[in-house]
Structure 1
């Protein structure tokens, strides 16, 4: 999240020591010798209850950890999620933060994330937004926050607790599959000089860990002070000791500043503007002590049924800081493993990637997407089509969208896609085509992959296309974005399942229809050195025929925009495969396998799809004196450009 100057100023006032100097002093003493006599007794008693290895580590300063330390850490990580903070009125994404489950229904984060129940009203938490050991993405799950069920925030201690829905928004998987982290109110769980671990979603990114890199410097009345030479904590992250007990809720810190009072970034440069907390060089971090959080919760809502779940968990089994429901160990939300089976590689649970399919892309940060100013600025600017409110509710969310980005948009090289998560296909695609630079030497490889930025259940996969006459029909044509310095990568980008729609093979491969129209557009754009922006999508109807749980669209549309004689020219096309799929998936088709292509007013496409292009004034079909509103395209000469 963006750094709150007031929050930092408050931490600066509480920092009454030199972190570097204190760290050097602690390095020369055993952690147990940094405690008062009374706290030494408490710390040793707690360590003994945690096992001989913990006691030895504290007394003898033995840094060796048992190998199951990492496995326990993976269990703890399951309860940590990425918060999508949304505007309580519009539902638009405002920021990301971290939070973690502390009971079967309650999530803990910072007060500066949610200061009131209204702020949490339309927000949600996403679990499993992380990579598997082979670099593929786990299938994350979204759970709605339910502040009307429970909400409590303490401004002084900077924490907030909010109820979470019991089942995932899309899949219906149980929240219990994530487990939860118990809050032990007992003091003595850690001593100055010991090292802490933070599991977090820095800058809203995938789940990461700062492993035993945060040295505990000082224990104050309400807070712990710790410093790190690597990644700082993120707002709302759990801070763990060496047995994976939560000892603090990370909330703020003191940044390094220059002589002018500007924050110093990790690369050593000053920043005059507010920046994300993960970009700042911190000299000390501050977390709220768990014992203080528990005391505040108990005083305010100790008799509430959901809050009692926190204390009951603690009293029943304090030696087990991570609670995982053993009956749910085989849940799809449990830790994935990689296995080699037959002729397929299985990545995680339920996702199979054939040998001839590509490994998923993991970094999309260099994808700039569709450029509205590609044809020119001012009167030649072509923005993306507008969605209705109903369509926005059905949009898949880009889980990797950065600050200021449209969360519905999936940018690729030279094109962008907005996905309909219900139909598992694109509401629309938008591509910039430069006919003077297209690299036709780059061949196709047919290596189709899922886009990890949205859920696997929000896009199709190869199971839809096996053993039938359906093709993966490109929406953004493969060659359209294949130009410039990123041509090869753009070619690969077109082979995402987000960019395909189920099309009958006779439709997709027919030279006078889908590919035929694209070839005509592409060839003429190249010959006349046109720059073209192309929008493509499906017409979704409630009565579309369903095949393998996916409704097959009967019609597709294109809107083509170019500059002609100094002005924009926009044309619309409607293509139908209705006669090809009317009996699908039966093997027998009639000999009359007609595919129809029409040029239609863009307004007609808007009426069919609900999209708004704002291009009708540039459509020759609108200005034509002809009474015909639909032109069958039997030859390309019939097209009005």
Structure 2
């Protein structure tokens, strides 16, 4: 059931939905969470140092940082077969074969916390790599797409009526970090099978952006109130996507769906005022859930270019783009992509998600089989 506040929101949308049918939503708001601009790193500061025992390492630390991502340049003569990306606790979150990027640059996964360490070696004859840029996230929470009071909570703290379902499905949802131009961003994505993940086209819509992207699974607060930085998996390619439906299916390395599971997509349209929940990474934060006063409102409304969307009253924020809207059976019924509009009064106090059944129809028409 929803509160009176959100019931009023529903009424306003219903009254204004007819006029909204003629308007295409061109601006994605609030869109991906901006984690920061690229900070150039000079040669002296960015060079890996040789440590006792012959190992190479690079360490960056800033007390106010909540996450760090590094751009690494690999010399053409690279021979070492392993670099480990570690967080402040010394936990390895990603293992990279630098030979894959010989003579090029690559972005590491985003490391949660104030310290990023990259370790390699020992190999005294190996040409030393260099960090050429950093993205340091020092941002605070922005409540742009919160409907009424902020009712987001850490998944670990959730004790609501969907507890059994949430405990089963939340593992398949991760934080997707990437770089576009000179800015770092974060969205949400979820596994469809062992190696494919779904997010928004406005998050990862080109192969160039995919090449910078990593999906962190298990980035969340644990029952003992400590932070798990998760495990990172690199974006390999875009399998399929569409601008109008604002979705992208990504193939990621390492088959994370084997360990973290995957979500089932609902072939049916959601019902009016149907209760739901959204598991997400708002503002690039550890995994959270919106379930209180979270419901679908099935006014047929404009999405990115056509009437593809359902409205919903689930709390989200920048970075929630690509989150699954999930029903009581644990199936994904919609793909969140638009927060409260700044330009269309019909959507001032409501969020929007693409109806999953419409995406499934598109996928089927392009001879793509998700259940692989």
How many pairs does the alignment contain? 215
Partners of 1:184 and 1:137 lie apart in 2 by 32
How far the C-alpha of 1:153 sits from its partner, in A, is 1.7
How far the C-alpha of 1:244 sits from its partner, in A, is 1.6
1:125 paired with 2:215, answer yes
Among 141, 151, 154, the residue aligned to 2:239 = 151
Partners of 2:289 and 2:348 lie apart in 1 by 17
Among 258, 272, 280, the residue aligned to 1:192 = 272
The DSSP-based 3-state class of the residue aligned with 2:321 is coil
1:201 paired with 2:281, answer yes
Match of 2:171 in 1: 78
How far the C-alpha of 1:121 sits from its partner, in A, is 1.3
Partners of 1:156 and 1:67 lie apart in 2 by 35
Using a 3 Å threshold, how does the CA distance of structure 1 residues 109 and 203 change in structure 2: closer, same or farther? same
User: In proportion to residue count, which structure has more helix?
Assistant: 1
Indicate if the aligned counterparts of 1:22 and 1:217 stay in contact, CA closer than 8 A. no
Indicate if the aligned counterparts of 2:275 and 2:295 stay in contact, CA closer than 8 A. yes
Give per-residue Cα distances to partners, 1:316-375, cap 9 Å, x unaligned: xxxxxxxxxxxxxxxxxxxxxxxxxxxxxxxxxxxxxxxxxxxxxxxxxxxxxxxxxxxx
Match of 1:45 in 2: none
1:178 paired with 2:271, answer no
Partners of 1:175 and 1:104 lie apart in 2 by 4
Match of 1:165 in 2: 253
Partners of 1:216 and 1:209 lie apart in 2 by 15
For residues 64-103 of structure 1, the aligned pairs below 5 Å read 69-87=162-180, 94-103=184-193
Indicate if the aligned counterparts of 1:232 and 1:285 stay in contact, CA closer than 8 A. no
How far the C-alpha of 1:85 sits from its partner, in A, is 0.6
How far the C-alpha of 1:100 sits from its partner, in A, is 0.6
Partners of 2:351 and 2:259 lie apart in 1 by 31
Give per-residue Cα distances to partners, 1:277-313, cap 9 Å, x unaligned: xxxx95111101111111111212x2xxxx42x246x
How far the C-alpha of 1:139 sits from its partner, in A, is 4.8
Give per-residue Cα distances to partners, 1:139-182, cap 9 Å, x unaligned: 510001101xx422200101111101125xxxxxx541011001
Match of 1:241 in 2: 327
Using a 3 Å threshold, how does the CA distance of structure 1 residues 151 and 311 change in structure 2: closer, same or farther? closer
The DSSP-based 3-state class of the residue aligned with 1:203 is helix
The DSSP-based 3-state class of the residue aligned with 2:340 is strand
Partners of 1:238 and 1:297 lie apart in 2 by 17
Using a 3 Å threshold, how does the CA distance of structure 1 residues 294 and 231 change in structure 2: closer, same or farther? closer
The DSSP-based 3-state class of the residue aligned with 1:146 is strand
Partners of 1:256 and 1:111 lie apart in 2 by 21
TM-score, normalised on structure 1?
A: 0.31
Match of 1:140 in 2: 230
Indicate if the aligned counterparts of 1:123 and 1:144 stay in contact, CA closer than 8 A. yes
How far the C-alpha of 1:219 sits from its partner, in A, is 4.1
Using a 3 Å threshold, how does the CA distance of structure 1 residues 203 and 68 change in structure 2: closer, same or farther? closer
* 5+ long unaligned stretches in structure 1: 1-18, 27-65, 168-173, 264-280, 313-641
TM-score, normalised on structure 2?
A: 0.52
Partners of 2:364 and 2:249 lie apart in 1 by 12
Match of 2:365 in 1: 299
Indicate if the aligned counterparts of 1:84 and 1:95 stay in contact, CA closer than 8 A. yes
Indicate if the aligned counterparts of 2:317 and 2:339 stay in contact, CA closer than 8 A. no
Indicate if the aligned counterparts of 1:199 and 1:210 stay in contact, CA closer than 8 A. yes
Give per-residue Cα distances to partners, 1:415-455, cap 9 Å, x unaligned: xxxxxxxxxxxxxxxxxxxxxxxxxxxxxxxxxxxxxxxxx
Match of 1:253 in 2: 339
The DSSP-based 3-state class of the residue aligned with 2:361 is helix
Q: How large is the Cα RMSD of the aligned pairs?
A: 3.1
The DSSP-based 3-state class of the residue aligned with 2:365 is helix
Using a 3 Å threshold, how does the CA distance of structure 1 residues 108 and 231 change in structure 2: closer, same or farther? closer
Partners of 2:349 and 2:244 lie apart in 1 by 22
How far the C-alpha of 1:20 sits from its partner, in A, is 5.8
Higher relative CO (CA 8 A, sep ≥ 6), structure 1 or 2?
2
The DSSP-based 3-state class of the residue aligned with 1:95 is strand
Give per-residue Cα distances to partners, 1:506-544, cap 9 Å, x unaligned: xxxxxxxxxxxxxxxxxxxxxxxxxxxxxxxxxxxxxxx
Indicate if the aligned counterparts of 1:232 and 1:282 stay in contact, CA closer than 8 A. no
Match of 1:23 in 2: 10
* 5+ long unaligned stretches in structure 2: 1-5, 14-158, 301-306
Partners of 1:68 and 1:284 lie apart in 2 by 23
Match of 2:356 in 1: 290
Partners of 2:202 and 2:12 lie apart in 1 by 33
How far the C-alpha of 1:24 sits from its partner, in A, is 5.2
How far the C-alpha of 1:21 sits from its partner, in A, is 4.2
The DSSP-based 3-state class of the residue aligned with 2:273 is coil
Using a 3 Å threshold, how does the CA distance of structure 1 residues 85 and 195 change in structure 2: closer, same or farther? same
For residues 30-41 of structure 1, the aligned pairs below 5 Å read none
Indicate if the aligned counterparts of 1:84 and 1:93 stay in contact, CA closer than 8 A. no
Partners of 1:97 and 1:282 lie apart in 2 by 22
Partners of 2:323 and 2:160 lie apart in 1 by 24
Partners of 2:293 and 2:260 lie apart in 1 by 26
User: In proportion to residue count, which structure has more strand?
Assistant: 2
Match of 2:195 in 1: 105
How far the C-alpha of 1:95 sits from its partner, in A, is 0.7
Partners of 2:12 and 2:341 lie apart in 1 by 21
How far the C-alpha of 1:214 sits from its partner, in A, is 2.1
